[in-house]
Amino acid sequence: MDIKEIIKPENLVHKRTPLMTDANLSYCPGCGHGTVHHLIMEVVEELDIQQDTIGIAPVGCSVLAYDFMDIDMTQAAHGRAPAVATGIKRLWPEKYVFTYQGDGDLAAIGTAETIHACNRGENIAIFFINNGIYGMTGGQMAPTTLEGMKSSTTPYGRDYKTMGHPIKITELVAQLPGTSFVTRQAVHKPGNVRKTKKAIRKAFEVQKEKMGVAFIEIVSNCNSGWKMTPNDSNKWMEENMFPFYPLGDIKVEGKIVKDLMKDLV
């Protein structure tokens, strides 16, 4: 069969969602941010809520998310996206409101906003991209940097004696009464992409039921910051990030579904 016979509109199985703008993504080649952007916009398209969805971009690599997602968006001061989301959602309770944040933004500078929005049980979704590093500013240590992990400010590896331990903020917020759905996923392989998309869809669905915060962590790569090729960084992520940040649902319909103590150390 000739390729020309296959490439016809009636045989289409996957195309870029029109909810992503034509702007070129500012992310490095192979960065998981782009994959997550596409998934969120695919879900918004499938749920047909483009007119009713408001996103809040963070400070960090994804600061320009409002240029890429064709929905109403604003951008918050560093770490304050959950506070801005709270205000927007309370003014427009029928809108779907989400924040999109990295680990430096959400788990360092915005720790207070993250914890308190989750504790208050705001009806918002938080999409949290954890690549264990401050990507945009040059690969400095973040609260999520693994023990022993090299970064531009920990050239000999993170030593918890002087630099503290990496923080599992997702397990922390799962224990707050205001979170309804808490999960950790990845987007480096097709199976993971499919699971993440399901989680994103669920995050919008629980928002409709006003059950509190849906918190979706996506463990992702920062190949530039980690100084690896994209595929090597994804492999490194599987071998090093996943044992410490295990994938899977942590809280479903307001109930913790995994043994949190088991993963603590």
Partner 1 sequence: MAKMRGAIVVDTERCKGCEVCLVNCPSDTIGMSKEVNGKGYHYAFMKDPESCTGCANCAIVCPDGVITVYRVKA
**Which residues of the shown chain bind partner 1 in the complex (CB under 8 A)?**
1, 3, 5-8, 11-17, 20, 24-25, 27-35, 38, 187-190, 193-194, 229-231, 234
For the chain, the maximum distance between any two Cα atoms, rounded to a whole number of angstroms, is 64
Identity of the residue, 120 or 235, whose beta carbon is nearer to partner 1 in the bound complex:
235
Put residue 164 in one of left, alpha, beta given phi > 0 → left and psi -120 to 50 → alpha: left
Closest distance to partner 1 from the beta carbon of 32 (Å):
6
Identity of the residue, 5 or 259, whose beta carbon is nearer to partner 1 in the bound complex:
5
Is the Cβ–Cβ distance between 223 and 151 less than 8 Å?
no
Identity of the residue, 122 or 217, whose beta carbon is nearer to partner 1 in the bound complex:
217
Identity of the residue, 81 or 186, whose beta carbon is nearer to partner 1 in the bound complex:
186
Closest distance to partner 1 from the beta carbon of 121 (Å):
33
Closest distance to partner 1 from the beta carbon of 192 (Å):
9
Closest distance to partner 1 from the beta carbon of 247 (Å):
16
Is the Cβ–Cβ distance between 254 and 180 less than 8 Å?
yes
**Cα dihedral value 238, 240, 243, 245, nearest 10:** -90
Is the Cβ–Cβ distance between 246 and 237 less than 8 Å?
no
Identity of the residue, 179 or 223, whose beta carbon is nearer to partner 1 in the bound complex:
223
> In degrees rounded to 5, what are phi and psi of residue 17?
-65, 135
Which tokens go with 179?
């979170």
Q: Which residue has the tokens 């399901």?
A: 198
Closest distance to partner 1 from the beta carbon of 43 (Å):
13
